[in-house]
Amino acid sequence: MNTVAVQTFSRQRLCICAFLIIVTSAVAPTVVTAQPLTSFRYETQAQAHCPDDSVVWLDFRKEVYYLKRQKKYGRGWTGSFVCRKEASDSGFRHSLLGVR
């Protein structure tokens, strides 16, 4: 290879590398930290933990929480009692089903 071809190849390679760095830094995801979620076996424990917040039943498998007036509140093997604000801050959603 002659020197002109080597210089052209090096410039192209440098441009491609710079382009990839710019593109990946522009679309790189931001750092997300998990919110602390304290789960309790009994409703009274959760209420003592968050006296100014309502207690909900969080179903970990379905990733939803139920309010006290809902049918599935306190039922199931894959859930526990948590504070409503902690559940919503952790990314769990409110279930619209089973309202009494």
> Which residue is it, tokens 């410039």?
11
> Which residue is it, tokens 């009494």?
100
Kindly state the tokens that stand for 93: 């959603």
| pLDDT of 43 above 80 | yes
Mean pLDDT of 48-64: 95
**Kind plus residue range of the DSSP H or E element containing 82:** strand 79-83
At residue 60 the predicted structure's pLDDT band, cuts being 50, 70 and 90, is: very high
Q: What percentage of the chain reaches a pLDDT higher than 90?
A: 58
DSSP, res 99: B
Query: Domain boundaries in the chain?
Result: 43-94
At 6 the pLDDT is 47
Mean pLDDT of 17-34: 56
The backbone torsions φ and ψ at residue 7, rounded to the nearest 5 degrees and listed phi first, read -65, -40
Report whether 59 contacts 29 (CB < 8 A). Answer: no
At 13 the pLDDT is 66
Q: CA angle, 20 as apex, 18 and 22 as ends, to 5°?
A: 70
